[in-house]
Copies of this chain bind each other. A is one copy, B any other.
Amino acid sequence: MATIYEVSKLAGVSLATVSRVINKTAPVREATREKVEAAMKELGYRPNSVAQSLASNRSNSIGILVPELGGPFYAELLSRIENEFRRVGKHVIIAAGHSDEELERESIEFLRSRNCDALILHVEAVSDDYLRGLADAGCAFVLMNRLVEQLADRCINLDNLLGGYLATKHLLELGHRAIAYVSGPMWKRDAQERYQGHQRALQEFGVPFDSNLVFEGDYQETGGVKALQYFRSLDKPFTALVCANDEMASGAITTAHDLGMDLPSQLSVVGFDNVNFAHYTYPKLTTIDYPLGEIGHMAAQWVLKNVYQQPIKDIRAVFAPQLVIRDSTYRIN
């Protein structure tokens, strides 16, 4: 691979001049520029990004940490972010934290050791204190799906409460009154918020809250299975089910079929997230759309603005989810 030095020799100019035409960091006479460009072309020169990084103290890489690489949930997010950065010649380094504190820490350290210019974090196990420490250490990062006080200017969030509210409200408007709820793990903030939204909707419609009709799931498919079994074991009648995510909704739907229930006439189900398989279920799942793509886009914008000093207008900190009506909900009277 040709180096900048060989280019300079072939073009008959100095090393510095070649660097200038590459980076447009200072004016270069038109004739010289052409000579240099010709030389670069002839040698098939491509700048060595590692050397550039060392000299400029910028790696042009952005670290991304998400809970899972495997699931359907983060694919769109990653895709969007990757695109955004590639267009400007930067690349992303992706790691998975698996919702484990140790692993999340390790991953962050790994990314930092890679000299990432910035980190985009979707962490859930690591403490607020740790994150504050990270910020104090001068690490540039944005937080997705999390709100840490004092770090609010680097948080990009979904209004989970609104989402939970919309889900339950939809059912209420369809005439349902006995609405069961399958939450996520209550130690997760988003699970709590979605649940609060559910309660608020009930309250607004004057429907008394019944704690029997709540089941704490695990955000996995089996959570939905267990929840439905549990609810059926009660002798409380219920006509609708809100699940705090689509995986659980899917588990509930499958179980309902297995129990011989007809959907949606005997049971309406609403999910949350609108993951890519939501319309593969039968009936197709009505759910709350989580605009992950937009959130990823915004995270990228944050980095572009705050780390690479690009002129970005405004950063939006909180996104509103929307109800997506498909076939799994049914009007009753």
Using CB atoms and an 8 Å cutoff, list the residues of chain A in contact with chain B: 46-51, 53-54, 59, 61, 68-72, 75-76, 78-79, 82-83, 86, 91-96, 110, 112-115, 250, 253-254, 257, 276-277, 280-282, 284
How many chain copies?
2
The smallest C-beta distance from A66 to any residue of chain B, in angstroms, reads 11
Contact B96 A79 (CB under 8 A): yes
Kindly report which residue of chain B lies nearest to residue A81, judged by CB atoms.
B69
The smallest C-beta distance from A74 to any residue of chain B, in angstroms, reads 8
CA distance A122 to B206 in the complex (A): 56
Contact B115 A50 (CB under 8 A): yes
Which of A50, A69, A114, A284 has the most CB atoms of chain B within a 10 A radius of its CB? A50
CA distance A93 to B115 in the complex (A): 14
Contact B71 A86 (CB under 8 A): no
Kindly report which residue of chain B lies nearest to residue A68, judged by CB atoms.
B79
Instruction: Report which of B93, B280, B282 forms a contact with A93, defined as CB distance below 8 A.
Output: B93
Contact B79 A69 (CB under 8 A): yes
Chain B residues contacting A78 (CB-CB under 8 Å) are 69, 94
The smallest C-beta distance from A120 to any residue of chain B, in angstroms, reads 14
Chain B residues contacting A72 (CB-CB under 8 Å) are 72, 75, 276-277
Which of A82, A257, A282 has the most CB atoms of chain B within a 10 A radius of its CB? A282
Say what secondary structure dominates the interface of chain A.
mixed
Chain B residues contacting A114 (CB-CB under 8 Å) are 49, 91
CB-CB nearest 6 A-B residue pairs: A282-B282, A277-B277, A69-B79, A70-B79, A50-B53, A277-B280
7 A-B contact pairs sorted by A residue (CB < 8 Å): A47-B113, A50-B53, A70-B76, A82-B94, A86-B95, A93-B93, A281-B281
**Additional pairs, 12, CB under 8 Å, beyond known A70-B76, A250-B280:** A47-B113, A48-B54, A49-B114, A50-B53, A50-B115, A51-B54, A69-B75, A70-B79, A72-B277, A79-B96, A91-B110, A276-B277
Contact A69 B54 (CB under 8 A): no
Instruction: Report which of B59, B68, B94, B282 forms a contact with A92, defined as CB distance below 8 A.
Output: B94
CA distance A50 to B79 in the complex (A): 26
CA distance A284 to B71 in the complex (A): 18
Would A96 and B115 be within 8 Å (CB), given that A75-B69, A75-B71, A281-B280 are in contact? Answer: no
Chain B residues contacting A82 (CB-CB under 8 Å) are 69, 94-96
Contact A59 B50 (CB under 8 A): yes
Chain B residues contacting A110 (CB-CB under 8 Å) are 86, 91
CA distance A113 to B22 in the complex (A): 14
The smallest C-beta distance from A98 to any residue of chain B, in angstroms, reads 10
Contact A46 B113 (CB under 8 A): yes
Chain B residues contacting A112 (CB-CB under 8 Å) are 46
Chain B residues contacting A277 (CB-CB under 8 Å) are 72, 276-277, 280
Would A48 and B280 be within 8 Å (CB), given that A69-B82, A79-B96, A86-B95 are in contact? Answer: no
Kindly report which residue of chain B lies nearest to residue A115, judged by CB atoms.
B50
